[in-house]
Amino acid sequence: MRRVAALGNVLLLAVVFPSGGDATRTEGPEVHSTKVAGLSTLRYWLANGTKVALPLQDFQSGTGGQTFSFNLTVDKETTELGFFAVTQDNRCNVTLTTAAPVTSALPPSFPFHPLLWRSDSAFRLANVTQPARFSISVTSRHGRVPVIYVVEVTRAEGKLSTLGRLTASFDGRKVDVSLKDPEYVQVPGIQASTNFVLLEWTPSDSAALTTYREYDPVLWDLIAYGRGTSYKLALTKGADVSVTLEVTPEDSLAAPATSYSVSVRVPVAGTELKDVEVSPAGLLEPPFSPSVYFYKLRLPSHVDNFTLATWTLRNDSTASILYMGVNVTGTENVTAAEIPADAGTVFIDVKNAQGKRSRNMYEIDTVHLQDYEMLPFLDLKASRLEDSRHRKKPSCEHTPGFYDGLTAAVGDEVEFQITANCSRFAATFGGDRSLCHGLDGLRLELVLVALSNGTVTRTNVTATVGEGRFRSRFADSGAEYSVQAGLVACEEEPERCSADSYRRLALSQTLLVVPAVPHPDRSPHAPLPEIVATNRTSAKQPSGGRRAAERP
C-alpha cells in the first residue's frame, strides 16, 4: 500500500514490510538492527531516462543512529527528478510525502526486480542554490524502528558557457549563423554591396555573461569591446572583419568561458562563386554560400575519388581548382575536376574580368571517413525474439513489476539483422540512394554488454552488411544484455579506431535470457554456436536503452 501526504518541505518515502524475514545489511549505512529493513540501493531518475545511483555508504549518520543524510548537487539544467529504490525485504508498502509539486514527467522503464519501488512521477526542484529536502523512511515487518534516509537536492549555478543562437541582419534580411565550429564562425549571404551587419546572440543560459571584441584583420589591434547581446559592424568593399564573442558561465569558478570567432567577409565584385557541387556523394559543411570561404567535405569511406564542380556568379569570371600540385582552370564560368578522396585541402581561386581576386581563396578540407565512422548509417534490428513489455513478472505485493525489453529462451535460435539505412545515407551525403550499398562489405561482430556489471563479451559471431544477419543461441539463463554490433577490425585492434568517434550499434531494447521452455513438436535446429558471457574483453561501452525497438 502506498500513501502520499504533505509534510512541510519534507518528502517522506515510507516503505513498510508486512511480512517476510528480517533483513541484514547488503549495502549502505552501518547501523541496521535485525529488526530493521533498509535499502539495498537508492537512485534518482530524470525525465530523459537517465538513472543515477546514490552512494548509500556515504550517507552520514544522525541522531539515534537510524537517520542518514546525504547532500546531492545536480546541474542547473536538472529541474525535476524522481526516485526508485530496491529494498532488503521481500514485501513492501510505500508512502510518499512532499511539498514539492508533482510534474507530468513519467518514470522510464526499469529492469524487473521483485523488490523495486519507483515514484509514479517526477518532482519539481527548487530554485538555484535552494535545497529541496527528500526523506525516505523504511520500516521492517515488525514496524518498530524506521530507518530514514534524508537527501537534500540542490541545483548548482549554471555552468553552460555556450551560445544558443547567433543571427546576422543585413540587406533587409535576417539569417541564422551556424555555431558548429566555435573557432571559425562564418556569416553567410554577405554580398559585395553589403555595408553593415547587425550581430545578435543569445546564450544557452540567460544568467551567463557575454562580451564582444572587434579586431583589425591586418594588425590585429582591438577596435571595440563591450558587454551585451548585440553588435553592429560597419563594412567596406572587400572587408575581412573578425569579432570574438566570449560567454562566461554563471558559475565562473566551476567552468571555463567559451570563445566564438566570428568572421564577416565582403566579397570583391566578380570573385564570388555561385555554387559548388560534389559527386557522387559528400557532405559539405557549412552549406555553401558565396561569402563563406572555409569548408569541410566529409566523404564516405568507400568513395575513393570525387568530382568537384564550381560555377562563378558572373559569366565573365573564371575559377581555378588547385589540389596536390594540380591546377584545373575551367571554361566560361564552369570548372570541374576529379580529385582523390585523400587530397587534403582543395583551393578555389576566382578572378573577375579585370583579373582581380578576393583577399581569400575558397578552401575545402577533405575528410575521408574511416569504415568505423560509417556505423551510424547502419541499423541493428531484432527478429525471432519476444517483446515482453506486457509480460507481468512476480513482484512484491502491491507493487507490480514489468520487464520492458526482449526475451530469448536458452537454446532458442536468435537472429539479429544488420542493414544499411539508405535514406539516412542519402540525406547526409546526397547522391543516389544506391550508393549506400558500398557499405555492404563491412564486417561486424555480435557483442554483448552485461547490464549487471558492464562486462563486454565478444561472441565471434560475425556477418557482413551484405549478408545481413547474425544467428546464434544464448546459454546464460537470467542474464540481461545490451545487444551491440561492432566493426570486426575495431574489436580485434581497438587502437585502430578512435575512441572519440567509434560507437557500436546497439538495440534500443535490452535482452533478457530466460529458462528454456520444452517444445515437443519443435523440429531440430541446425547447429548454431552457443553464446556464453565471459569476461574476454575489459573495455566497456554504453549500454542500449530500453525503449521500444523497431521491429523488422
Contact 290, 313 (CB under 8 A): yes
Q: Give the pLDDT band (50/70/90) at residue 115.
A: confident
With respect to residue 413, please indicate whether it lies within any of the assigned structural domains: yes
With respect to residue 539, please indicate whether it lies within any of the assigned structural domains: no
pLDDT over 70 (residue 311): yes
Same domain, 146 and 167: no
Measure the CA–CA gap between 224 and 212, rounded to whole angstroms: 8
Contact 44, 5 (CB under 8 A): no
- Look at strands 530-531 and 505-506 and give their pairing: unpaired
With respect to residue 537, please indicate whether it lies within any of the assigned structural domains: no
DSSP SS3 for 339? strand
Sheet containing 67-74: which strands, arranged edge to edge? 3-4, 94-97, 10-16, 132-139, 147-155, 67-74, 60-61
With respect to residue 302, please indicate whether it lies within any of the assigned structural domains: yes
Same domain, 395 and 474: yes
pLDDT over 70 (residue 419): yes
With respect to residue 67, please indicate whether it lies within any of the assigned structural domains: yes
Same domain, 509 and 436: yes
Query: Nine-digit cell at 552?
Result: 523488422
**Which pLDDT score is estimated for 40?**
82
Measure the CA–CA gap between 70 and 72, rounded to whole angstroms: 6
User: Which residues neighbour 226 within 8 Å (Cβ) at sequence distance 6 or greater?
Assistant: 211, 212
Q: Give the pLDDT band (50/70/90) at residue 388.
A: very low
pLDDT in tens, 141-156: 666 667 888 899 999 9
pLDDT in tens, 20-33: 333 333 333 333 33
Query: What is the overall mean pLDDT for the chain?
Result: 81
Q: Report the C-alpha dihedral over residues 284, 290, 294, 297, rounded to 10 degrees.
A: 10
State which of 369, 395, 425 marks the end of a domain. 369
Same domain, 151 and 217: no
pLDDT over 50 (residue 17): no
With respect to residue 26, please indicate whether it lies within any of the assigned structural domains: yes
**Which pLDDT score is estimated for 13?**
40
pLDDT in tens, 170-189: 999 999 999 999 999 999 99
Measure the CA–CA gap between 374 and 300, rounded to whole angstroms: 7
Same domain, 382 and 501: yes
Same domain, 399 and 514: yes
- Look at strands 511-514 and 480-487 and give their pairing: antiparallel
Question: Which residues form the domain of 80?
Answer: 3-155
Same domain, 193 and 50: no
With respect to residue 473, please indicate whether it lies within any of the assigned structural domains: yes
Same domain, 470 and 459: yes
Q: Give the pLDDT band (50/70/90) at residue 404.
A: low
pLDDT over 60 (residue 545): no
- Angstrom CA distances, 374 to 41, 261, 504, stand at 39, 30, 11
Measure the CA–CA gap between 118 and 385, rounded to whole angstroms: 28
Same domain, 247 and 126: no
Cell 550508393, residue? 435
pLDDT over 90 (residue 168): yes
User: Which residues neighbour 95 within 8 Å (Cβ) at sequence distance 6 or greater?
Assistant: 2, 3, 4, 5, 12, 13, 14, 15, 16, 137
- Between 513 and 293, the higher pLDDT residue: 293
Same domain, 223 and 356: no
With respect to residue 543, please indicate whether it lies within any of the assigned structural domains: no
DSSP SS3 for 175? strand
Same domain, 346 and 423: no
State which of 334, 351, 369 marks the end of a domain. 369
Query: Nine-digit cell at 425?
Result: 545515407
Highest mean pLDDT among 81-85, 103-107, 375-379, 505-509: 375-379
Give the total residue count for the chain. Answer: 552
Residue 118: count other Cβ atoms within 10 Å of its Cβ.
17
Measure the CA–CA gap between 534 and 395, rounded to whole angstroms: 29
Instruction: Find the mean pLDDT for residues 492-498.
Output: 92
**Which pLDDT score is estimated for 142?**
63
Give the CATH number of the domain where residue 360 resides. 2.60.40.10
Contact 44, 82 (CB under 8 A): yes
Measure the CA–CA gap between 424 and 278, rounded to whole angstroms: 18
Contact 334, 355 (CB under 8 A): no
Phi-psi region of 430 (alpha: psi -120 to 50; beta: other; left: phi over 0): left
State which of 321, 337, 369 marks the end of a domain. 369
DSSP conformation class of 543: P
CA-wise closest residue to 383 among 467, 447, 470, 464: 470
Instruction: Find the mean pLDDT for residues 460-479.
Output: 88
Contact 261, 244 (CB under 8 A): yes
3-7, 151-155, 516-520, range with the lowest pLDDT: 3-7
Please state the domain count of the chain: 4
Query: What is the 3-state secondary structure of 427-487?
Result: HHHCCCHHHHHHHCCCEEEEEEEECCCCCEEEEEEEEECCCCEEEEEECCCCCEEEEEEEE
Instruction: Find the mean pLDDT for residues 407-428.
Output: 90
For residue 325, how far is the Cα from the chain centroid?
A: 41
Contact 145, 23 (CB under 8 A): no
Measure the CA–CA gap between 408 and 414, rounded to whole angstroms: 7
Measure the CA–CA gap between 121 and 103, rounded to whole angstroms: 6
Amino acid symbol at 299: L
Same domain, 461 and 314: no
Measure the CA–CA gap between 257 and 442, rounded to whole angstroms: 42
